[in-house]
Amino acid sequence: MKLSRIAEELSGILEGDGDIDILGVSTLEAANNGDISFLTNSKYMSAAKKTAASALIVGEDCPPLGLPFVRHRNPYLAFAKTVEIFHKPAARKPGLHPTAVIADSAVLGKNVSVGAYCIIGEDVRIEDDVEIRERCTVHHHVKIGSGSLLHSGVIIREGVVIGERCVFQNNAVIGSDGFGYARQEDGGWYKIYQAGNVIIEDDVEVGAGSTIDRATLGSTVISRGTKIDNLVQVGHGSVVGSNTLLCAQVGLAGSSRVGNGVILAGQVGVAGHLTIGDGVIATAQTGIANSVEPNKLISGSPSYDHKTWLKSSLINAKLPQMYKSLKELEKQVDAINKTLNVLPEK
């Protein structure tokens, strides 16, 4: 495809020869002649200078690099759309595989696809254009909104409600029992029946192997546009806001309240019954033990201000030396006091 045509499709500004043919899209390092690549972060400038790509998608501030550009206000989004120009997911034919076990009371919309060895339970309602790949289990009374996609192996437990255009990666489990027990006098744990459900709003994605527990009463809620990575645990009764990112292996304990536009990086843990304000960012492995005000950038376990944490982290390695210095100072001050025969006011 001509570079000028790509610029047009991306609504970007062409700089340089628009007549060159672009054959593919690639990373800066792996690009060959004929590829378009992208530079969205100036820390990869040196890779950009060495790339074999024939053209680059860049932001508004990028200096000339001797090869044609497609400039865009949001170059990473333009890159995402470029990937789709060159790579199209194989279209699936709608239809129900003969091995799918579908309850008579289930209601399926138009253009629904159900793969081999899927199980669709009683009173399930599946809207138009939903694609359910191989070996999924959709338990009774589930609703799935139009255009949603379940990759193979996904399990949706009874009563879960799923919005439109959601994506579930393989082996995700939605609606497993919450971890709720009452302690008995003999030390044993009495299981609390988990009577609630899970509500997943529109445009949510859930990663492979992630688990979202049903509420004891009421609903665990994942709000519109939120993206959840692999092996994430969402405890029962948690409410996660809109357009939030939960990166891989994040764990939310029960009844967490996570705001809108929050980013919890990999392996972050959130204790139960907390509120995390809108726009909070927690770096990897942060342990959040208390509620967090909106728009804070936090780190550490337990968490505090990220910039302070960065400084404190550098000092961690100096602690043994600090301890030694402190002991030495105490001795010196003691000696001085003895010499002066002065005692400080207490």
By annotation, the residues acting in catalysis are 236
Residue list 71-110, contact with a second copy (CB under 8 A): 74, 76-77, 79-80, 83-84, 86-87, 89-90, 97, 99, 101
Residue list 25-54, contact with a second copy (CB under 8 A): 25-27, 30
Please say whether the dihedral angle defined by the alpha carbons of residues 148, 154, 158 and 160, taken in this order, is positive or negative.
Answer: negative
CA distance 282 to 293: 12
Q: How far is the CB of 61 from a second copy (least distance, A)?
A: 17
- 51 or 211: CB nearest a second copy: 211
Phi-psi region of 330 (alpha: psi -120 to 50; beta: other; left: phi over 0): alpha
Q: How far is the CB of 18 from a second copy (least distance, A)?
A: 23
* Residue 235 found at the interface with a second copy (CB under 8 A): yes
* Residue 315 found at the interface with a second copy (CB under 8 A): yes
Residue from 18, 34, 109, 266 binding a second copy (CB under 8 A): 266
Q: Under a CB-based contact definition with an 8 Å cutoff, are residues 268 and 254 in contact?
A: no
Q: How far is the CB of 90 from a second copy (least distance, A)?
A: 8
Residue from 39, 166, 240, 248 binding a second copy (CB under 8 A): 248
DSSP 8-state assignment for residue 94? P
Q: Could you tell me which of 294, 260, 297, 254 has the C-alpha nearest to residue 274?
A: 254
Q: How far is the CB of 284 from a second copy (least distance, A)?
A: 5
Residue from 57, 67, 205, 259 binding a second copy (CB under 8 A): 205
SS (H, E, C) 216-265: CCCEEEECCCCEECCCCEECCCCEECCCCEECCCCEECCCCEECCCCEEC
CA distance 134 to 140: 18
* Residue 253 found at the interface with a second copy (CB under 8 A): yes
DSSP 8-state assignment for residue 292? B
Cis peptide before 94 (omega within 30 of 0): no
Amino acid at residue number 46 = S
Residue from 111, 146, 230, 275 binding a second copy (CB under 8 A): 230
- 65 or 208: CB nearest a second copy: 208
Q: How far is the CB of 251 from a second copy (least distance, A)?
A: 5
Residue from 243, 275, 294, 297 binding a second copy (CB under 8 A): 243
